[in-house]
């Protein structure tokens, strides 16, 4: 039995239990422990070989992996809570598809605008910058910004499919 296999057998079960206490799922805990071992074996030549060092390294690596996993899960949970989407809600799926189609259409139309109009339109409506912020960044007059935004909106309204108009008005508010 090689030293790597011996280390694995010696620490695997206790590390899995340690990880499980954090994440509450056996399969996730096992994955995190296996990743810690892979990283350790890959970087082993740069590390100390004492028993205490190896044990401390593995527990620390597993702990950080668990915390990272939990943070990621919280971010996902926050996102799904914010968008109020669940897999059984077909209406939400349809709305998401329509929203995506409208946004794609808007970006397609914006890409066809003259470059100055395109830049100002994006800054004002997509990035949410005020007219004053745009004038300061581009070193142009407020009237130019207003004119280009109006021009861009006119192009958008002329080229956008009529059934998308109510949704685009809602999105740009």
| Same domain membership, residue 145 and residue 78 | no
List the structure tokens of 67: 């915390």
- Same domain for 102 and 67: no
CA atoms of 88 and 92, how far apart (whole Å): 9
Give the model's pLDDT for residue 77: 74
Q: How many CA atoms lie within 13 A of 171 on its CB side?
A: 19
Contacts of residue 93, defined as CB under 8 A and 6 or more positions apart, other chains included, come to 85
What is the number of structural domains in the chain? 2
pLDDT tops 60 at residue 172:
no
Query: Could you list the residue range(s) of the whole structural domain that residue 109 is in?
Result: 90-171
Confidence (pLDDT) at 92: 62
C-alpha triplet 41, 45, 51: angle, nearest 5°: 70
- Same-domain pairing of 125 and 94: yes
Q: Are 68 and 115 in a shared domain?
A: no
Helix, strand or coil, per DSSP, at residue 27: helix
pLDDT for the residue 147: 94
Final residue belonging to a domain, choices 35, 56, 83: 83
Residues 37 and 71 in one domain: yes
Shared domain for 73 and 104, answered yes or no, is no
55-99 pLDDT, tens per residue?
A: 888 888 888 888 888 888 887 777 666 666 555 555 665 666 666
CB-based contacts of 35, cutoff 8 Å, min separation 6 = 65
Q: Which pLDDT value is given to residue 150? A: 93
* pLDDT, position 46: 63
Residues 97 and 71 in one domain: no
Averaged pLDDT score across all residues of the chain: 80
Q: Do 12 and 75 reside in the same domain of the chain?
A: yes
CA distances from 144 to 47, 128, 134, 137, 163 (A): 62, 17, 10, 13, 30
Q: Which two tokens stand for residue 82?
A: 């914010």
What is the pLDDT at residue 22? Answer: 79
**55 and 98 assigned to the same domain:** no
Do both 48 and 94 map to the same domain?
Answer: no
pLDDT (tens digit per residue) in 35-56:
888 888 887 766 666 777 878 8
Q: Report residue 104 as tokens.
A: 């794609």
Residue 74: which CATH number?
Answer: 1.10.1740
Which of residues 83, 111, 128 is at a domain's end? 83
What DSSP character marks residue 112?
Answer: T
Q: What is the pLDDT of residue 25?
A: 85
Output the CA–CA distances (angstroms, integers) from residue 41 to 5, 8, 37, 81, in the order listed.
Answer: 10, 10, 6, 39
For 117-151, the pLDDT digits (tens) are 999 998 998 888 899 999 999 999 999 999 999 99
Residues 69 and 112 in one domain: no
Pick the last residue of a domain from 40, 68, 83: 83
Q: Is the same domain home to 77 and 105?
A: no
What pLDDT was estimated at residue 115? 93
């Amino acid at each position: 039995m090689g030293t790597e296999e011996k280390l694995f057998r010696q620490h695997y079960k206790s590390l899995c239990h340690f990880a499980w206490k954090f994440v509450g799922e056996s399969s996730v805990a096992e994955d995190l422990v296996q990743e810690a071992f892979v990283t350790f074996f890959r970087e082993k030549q740069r590390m100390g070989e004492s028993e205490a060092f190896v044990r401390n390294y593995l527990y620390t690596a597993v702990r950080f992996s668990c915390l990272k996993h939990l943070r990621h899960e919280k971010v996902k949970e926050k996102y799904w809570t914010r968008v109020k989407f669940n897999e059984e809600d077909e209406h939400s799926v349809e709305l998401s598809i329509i929203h995506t189609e409208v946004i794609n259409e808007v970006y397609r139309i914006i890409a066809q605008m003259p470059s100055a109009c395109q830049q100002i339109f994006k800054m004002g409506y997509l990035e949410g910058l005020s007219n004053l912020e745009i004038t300061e960044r581009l070193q142009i007059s407020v009237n130019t910004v207003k004119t280009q935004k109006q021009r861009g909106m006119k192009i958008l309204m002329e080229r956008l499919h009529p059934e998308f108009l109510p949704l685009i008005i809602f999105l740009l508010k």
